[in-house]
Amino acid sequence: MGFAKYHQEEKSKIDNIYKELLNAHYKLKDYAQKIKELTTTQERNRIARDLHDTLGHNMTGLIMQLEMTSSMMDKDIDEAKVLMEESKITARESLKKVREIVETFKDESRMYTDIGAIKELIDEFSSKTGVNISFEVKGEKMALSPDVYITLYRVIQESMTNAVRHGKADEINIVIKYEKDVIRFSIIDNGVGCDDVCEGYGLKGMRERVGLLGGFIEYRNECGFEVMGEINRG
C-alpha cells in the first residue's frame, strides 16, 4: 500500500514537470513571435536558422530523455526521477539559449572558435540520447575562420538531430578532414534512411551556410544516411 502511494506521488510530480515543459513550449512560441516583430528579414532568417538548429537539436535530446523516463516509470521510479531532472535541465538550457538569441543578438563567431566546441556538442548529444557517436579529425590541423567553425558546428548539429529524429539511428560516425584549400566533412548514420531526400528548413539551412563559404553539400542514402561536403578553408 505504501509503495502504491509513493508511486502515485512520484507520477504526480512527473505530471507537474510535463506541465512545466509545456509552458516552456509556449514561451518558445512567444519568443519566435518577438523575433518577427524586432528584426529585418535578413536578420530574422539568420536567427530563425539558429533557433531551428539549436532548439531542434536540444528538443530531440529532450524527447529521448522523456521517452527513457517513461520506459523507466514502472521499473525504477528513482531512475525515472533522475532522468526527469535531467530533462528539466535540458529544457531550461534551451530557454536560456533562446533568450540569448532574442535579447542580445550576439555575434556567434565568439561562441564556436575551435574544434573543441564541436567535440563538446557531440559528447553532450551522445550523453542525452544514448546514441554511440564516433568523431575523427584527419589531416594537419590549422587555424580556421570563425565562419568555418560555425558552419561545421551547425552542419554536424543538424545532421545528428536528423539521424536520431528521422532516421532512428543509434550509431553516427563523424569525420572532419583538413586539406590544403578545403575542409571536408562526413556524417554517416545507421538509420533507416529515405528513398527521396526532401529538403526541409534544416537541410536548406545547411546548404545555405555551406554555400556562403563557397562549398557544397551532398546526401547519400545507402546503408543509413550520409551528409557529406566541403567548405573553403577561409
Joined together, the cell numbers standing for residue 82 give 533522475
Per-residue pLDDT of the chain (234 residues; tens, 9 = 90+): 566 776 677 777 777 777 777 677 677 767 766 665 654 455 556 666 666 666 666 667 777 777 777 777 777 787 777 777 877 777 777 777 666 656 544 455 555 567 888 999 899 899 888 899 999 999 988 888 888 888 899 899 989 988 998 889 999 999 999 998 899 999 999 988 776 777 777 788 888 889 888 999 998 887 789 999 999 986
The answer on 167 and 143 residing in a single domain is: yes
User: Does residue 182 sit in the same domain as residue 120?
Assistant: yes
One domain, residues 70 and 127: no
Both 123 and 228 in one domain: the answer is yes
Q: Are residues 67 and 152 in the same domain?
A: no
Q: Which structural domain range is residue 157 located in?
A: 111-232
In residues, how long is the chain? 234
Asked whether residue 12 falls in the same domain as residue 50, the answer is yes
In CATH, what number is assigned to the domain containing residue 196? 3.30.565.10
Number of folded domains in the chain? 2
Residue 20 cell numbers, joined? 512545466
Q: Which residue has the cell 530557454?
A: 95
Q: Are residues 115 and 224 in the same domain?
A: yes
| Global confidence as pTM | 0.58
With beta carbons less than 8 A apart as the criterion, state whether 98 and 51 touch. Answer: yes
Q: What is the DSSP string of 209-226?
A: HHHHTT-EEEEE-SSSEE
Same domain, 90 and 128: no
